């Protein structure tokens, strides 16, 4: 999900990304390309991401390796 200030110009950001994933998906996502869309949380998404990062670090989550 994308949010925050960049969603004020979402048509300039999301459309090219969606087109890229439709035509040239990143190699490791070729079988299951991600769906790109705007979040309903907009400005709060940055804080939520930061809190998630802290949570994962405290848990020593292997996704951060």
58: left (phi over 0), alpha (psi -120 to 50) or beta: alpha
What pLDDT is recorded for position 28? 56
Judge if pTM exceeds 0.75.
Answer: no
Greater pLDDT, 14 or 1: 14
Domain locations along the chain: 4-64
What pLDDT is recorded for position 20? 79
Q: What is the pLDDT of residues 16-56, one digit of tens each?
A: 888 877 777 666 576 777 777 778 887 888 888 899 999 99
What pLDDT is recorded for position 51? 92
What pLDDT is recorded for position 58? 93
For tokens 């670090």, what's the residue?
A: 57
Q: How far apart are CA 41 and CA 45, in angstroms?
A: 6
Q: How far apart are CA 59 and CA 18, in angstroms?
A: 33
């Amino acid at each position: 999900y994308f949010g925050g200030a960049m969603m004020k110009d979402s048509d300039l950001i999301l459309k090219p990304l969606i087109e890229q994933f439709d035509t040239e998906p990143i190699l490791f996502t070729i079988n299951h390309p991600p769906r790109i869309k705007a979040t309903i949380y907009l400005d709060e998404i940055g804080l939520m991401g930061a809190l998630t990062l802290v949570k994962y670090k405290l848990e020593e989550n292997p996704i951060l390796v």
